Amino acid sequence: MDAQSIILHLLTPEGRADPYPLYALAHELGPVAPAGDGLVLVCGYEAARQALRDPGLGADSGLTAWGGDADSRPSLAMLSRSLLVADEPGHGRLRASMAQAFTARGVAALEAGIGRITDALLDGLEKAGGSPVDFMDAFAFPLPAHVICDLMGIPPADRARFRAWAADLSAMLEPVPGPADLDTADRVAAEVGRYFTDLVGARRAEPREDLVTAMLAARDQGLLRDDEELVANLAILLVAGFETTTHLLGNGLRLLLDHPGAMAGLRDGTVPVQGFVDEVLRYDTPVQLSNRVALTDGVSVGGVPVPAGTHVVVLLGAANRDPAHYAEPGRFDPTRRDSRPLSFGGGAHYCLGALLARLEATVAFGRLPARFPALTSAPGAEPVRRDRIFLRGHEVLPVVPNGA
């Protein structure tokens, strides 16, 4: 199969449900595969690592080039004001406007709170006992939602609406979002914009110890140009900081259910929890791709020239299963050492929340196996994958906490 067919298959429901056989075919084509129409697929680990760090490749327009026109789409207009797709000049100041919340020190200070939230959610699972419960609903969504909302300063009463907002908004990150999904994202972008505009107004009147207040101060220092830019970056934090971690937790739990040895290993300490989290990030990568665009001629990726304007799709999920980099890449092995998956990207856009996401997952998978040693899949209720390729995760993941 050539690279063009691989990308077309990736965009089908079957490809979205299980992209890994397609990635295996892509590896046979080499680390970098031109796919026609000014498109290049990067699936080799080293080539992906290099592409993410190459200043000749910009993040700007990579997403909107496939998805539509930022001028006519409020959701894409919001995205285009965010750090996720900003190049220099601009990216550095946008990132600095929020970075202080995500330093090692800042994140370490959240650990006790994350432990408390985790324990409360595990208490909730305990109540379900021998009855089926949806892990996504009961744990994977509420934990990161609670953490990011507390960090940003979003009142607890408003948390519930963030799940639907984040899910609807993240549709705009799909490589080829459907017009109906983009219409929904446009409507939600307007709602989220109004919500954050009001919240910013409230914090301006009465500052608090939260990220919205900190970003207001950054706006006063000139790191953010105007309120529109402030609101767009708050909205992107909502998408980037919450659903991603939700799917790390869901994908991790699914792997635990499928690999009882890993569950037992986490309990008796033979599987290190950090190693388990790394292997989940590698084996079933929550963010499957990063988009780049060649800013000038003369850029090459893995030795393949990419002329100005070429759209470079860095398939993180494929790079994490590169047979030239990982022994037996299709085997889930939580005892792998020094695996360093590319799941948080790399270079200037390296995930700002990587430490936070890792901490949440480490706390969750550090506690869950000990409290629920008999946790199993719910009989007769199949897990349902989300029909997305950019964010890979589950819609529904039925489990019985105390065993069926």
Residue 244 contacts ligand HEM per CB under 6 A: yes
Minimum CB distance to ligand HEM, residue 209 (Å)? 17
Minimum CB distance to ligand HEM, residue 161 (Å)? 18
CA–CA separation, 287 vs 12, rounded Å? 18
Site for ligand HEM in 62-121 (CB under 6 A): 83-84, 95
Contact 53, 322 (CB under 8 A): no
Contact 401, 282 (CB under 8 A): no
Region near ligand HEM per CB under 6 A, out of 1-9, 71-79, 196-204, 240-248: 240-248
- Give, rounded to a whole angstrom, the gap between the first and last alpha carbons of the chain: 43
Provide the β-strand partners of residue 299: 306
Minimum CB distance to ligand HEM, residue 270 (Å)? 24
Contact 343, 316 (CB under 8 A): yes
Site for ligand HEM in 333-372 (CB under 6 A): 343-345, 349, 351-353, 356-357
CA–CA separation, 300 vs 310, rounded Å? 11
CA–CA separation, 314 vs 32, rounded Å? 9
Minimum CB distance to ligand HEM, residue 130 (Å)? 31
Residue 152 contacts ligand HEM per CB under 6 A: no
Query: Phi and psi of 189, rounded to 5°?
Result: -60, -40
Tokens representing residue 311 in the block: 């759209």
CA–CA separation, 392 vs 387, rounded Å? 8
Q: Which helix (H) or strand (E) holds 58?
A: strand 57-58
Quick one: 10 or 357, whose CB is closer to ligand HEM?
357
Contact 240, 166 (CB under 8 A): no
Minimum CB distance to ligand HEM, residue 351 (Å)? 3
Closest to 106 (Cα-Cα) out of 365, 340, 352? 352
Quick one: 192 or 240, whose CB is closer to ligand HEM?
240
Region near ligand HEM per CB under 6 A, out of 165-173, 220-228, 242-250, 363-371: 242-250
CA–CA separation, 78 vs 381, rounded Å? 38
The residue within the footprint of ligand HEM, chosen from 68, 153, 193, 241 (CB under 6 A), is 241
Minimum CB distance to ligand HEM, residue 319 (Å)? 11
Site for ligand HEM in 171-230 (CB under 6 A): none
Quick one: 22 or 287, whose CB is closer to ligand HEM?
287
The residue within the footprint of ligand HEM, chosen from 40, 41, 253, 287 (CB under 6 A), is 287
**Angular region, 338: left φ>0, alpha ψ -120 to 50, beta rest:** left
Minimum CB distance to ligand HEM, residue 344 (Å)? 5
Tokens representing residue 14 in the block: 């079957």
Minimum CB distance to ligand HEM, residue 343 (Å)? 5
Residue nearest to ligand HEM (CB): 353
Quick one: 148 or 399, whose CB is closer to ligand HEM?
148
CA–CA separation, 154 vs 196, rounded Å? 9
Quick one: 35 or 114, whose CB is closer to ligand HEM?
114
Minimum CB distance to ligand HEM, residue 286 (Å)? 4
Minimum CB distance to ligand HEM, residue 192 (Å)? 15
CA–CA separation, 344 vs 360, rounded Å? 15
Provide the β-strand partners of residue 301: 304
Closest to 73 (Cα-Cα) out of 278, 81, 334, 114? 81
Helices and strands counted in the chain (H then E): 20, 12
Contact 171, 177 (CB under 8 A): yes
Number of residues this chain uses to bind ligand HEM (CB under 6 A): 23
Would you tell me how many other CB atoms lie within 10 Å of the CB of residue 2?
14
The residue within the footprint of ligand HEM, chosen from 34, 175, 250, 286 (CB under 6 A), is 286
Residue 386 contacts ligand HEM per CB under 6 A: no
Quick one: 284 or 333, whose CB is closer to ligand HEM?
284
The residue within the footprint of ligand HEM, chosen from 143, 148, 231, 294 (CB under 6 A), is 148
| Side chain identity, residue 131 | S
Residue 59 contacts ligand HEM per CB under 6 A: yes
Minimum CB distance to ligand HEM, residue 360 (Å)? 7
Applying CB under 6 A, the residues found at the interface with ligand HEM are 59, 83-84, 95, 148, 237, 240-241, 244-245, 248, 286-287, 290, 343-345, 349, 351-353, 356-357
